[in-house]
Amino acid sequence: MTGRHHRKNVSLTAKIAGGLLAGTTLASTFAVAANANTLPETSGSGKGTVSAASLHTGLVLDGLTTGGTFENTDAAERTEQSSESRDESAEKSEKSDTGKKVGKSASADDFIKKAKTQLGIREDGSGKTKFQEWYSKTARAAETVERDGGSRNSYLRAAWCNMFVSWVAEETGTKDTVGQDAWTIAHAKWFKKQDRWGTTPKKGAIVFFNWQGKKSLDSIVHVGIVTDVKGGTVKTIEGNTGNAVLERDRKASQIVGYGYPEFAR
């Protein structure tokens, strides 16, 4: 399980192809938006890079005529009340969204507990899992395709250990602090850049491996979640180990380092 995309016998297309596709999608999006009287929205995660693949049209105008006059004060009052109702709904929605995005909403124990609910899930006959299916459809996948090249469908055939970690982060509302990626090396460097990288095992830490004992971030080939530390053994839960989600006992000699999410206490 080596290589830039930590892939399973798949050759991703050149990065420039992804760029051309993104440009075409962007042009189409704005064309549709103009014709349908809509505005484009953006969504994304990670460093905030938004690719054309993550744009979509929505936010349809409510049919009110702009620049005109109202026939009577009753109509104006009804419209004003409708506007106030929309403002209240938007405020409630914003508060709700904010609550979902709080990175420290789950503890390390919550994070581990959710990961353990997936124990025993295995690849199907074609090597696919729900984790690959999920990741390929995320806004983050659009960003990593833009970064690495290829297409969303490439993730359906790729090694999925980091997609499993990303899925647990999504499910527990901790993606802002756990991070989301499909490439283990990029994920480790993300922790390093934020000064949340080290060599001391901790419960809930994201653990990165190299089976030959190499210690550079560029040598990383696998990732998991630390569930406990006992003596010189680090207990983990990992995806894409034995083609399944399983618990493992790992030696320190196999570990490159740890990323430390900032969980709630």
Tens digit of each residue's pLDDT (9 = 90 or more) over 172-196: 999 999 999 999 999 999 999 999 9
Largest Cα separation within the chain, whole Å, is 80
Residues of the chain with CATH 3.90.1720: 108-259
Cα 74 from Cα 72, distance rounded (Å): 6
Amino acid 229: pLDDT: 95
Amino acid 8: pLDDT: 53
Amino acid 105: pLDDT: 74
Fold of 108-259: endopeptidase fold (from Nostoc punctiforme) (3.90.1720)
Nearest to 154 by CA among 183, 185, 178, 179: 183
Amino acid 231: pLDDT: 86
Amino acid 232: pLDDT: 84
Per-position DSSP letters for 105-169, written without gaps between them: SSBHHHHHHHHHTTTT-B--TTS--HHHHHHHTSHHHHHHHHHH-S-GGGGGGB--HHHHHHHHH
Amino acid 264: pLDDT: 93
The predicted model scores a pTM of: 0.64
Nearest to 235 by CA among 243, 220, 244, 225: 225
Residues of the chain with pLDDT under 50: 1-7, 9-103
Tokens of 242: 């034995």
Amino acid 119: pLDDT: 98
Q: Are the CB atoms for 40 and 57 separated by under 8 Å? A: yes
Q: Which amino acid is at 234?
A: V
